[in-house]
Amino acid sequence: MNPQKFPAINVLTVMRGFQNRRLPHQITPYRFETQDGRRFKVKTIRQTHKERVGHGFHIHYVIQTEELRFFHLVMETETFVWRIIQEVDDELFFHS
């Protein structure tokens, strides 16, 4: 993945070791920080999916922050590097 186009970010995560309904995802992001120092706390995980890339996987997350912004984040399992793909527009989601 192109590091200039998709910059690395720092992410505080929880790794689930056993089934727990409070942790529905095996890897759960809680907070992240961009390279320019902006910090965001994850309010909800809206979508997630896993994609095989080479010998590893890219785990994709669309998250909603406490400021009600949406971001597409990816964790690369071969390098354990998190990347920000883009900020996502709220209108891409169906509202109930």
How open is the CA angle 30-62-95, to the nearest 5 degrees? 115
**CA 60 vs CA 25, 37, 82, 96: distances in Å:** 12, 22, 10, 23
- Give the Cα separation of 8 and 18 in Å (integer): 28
pLDDT of residue 2: 81
Q: How confident is the model at residue 92 (pLDDT cuts 50, 70, 90)?
A: low
pLDDT digits (tens, 9 = 90+) for 2-24: 878 899 999 999 999 999 999 99
Query: What's the pTM value of the predicted model, to 2 decimals?
Result: 0.88
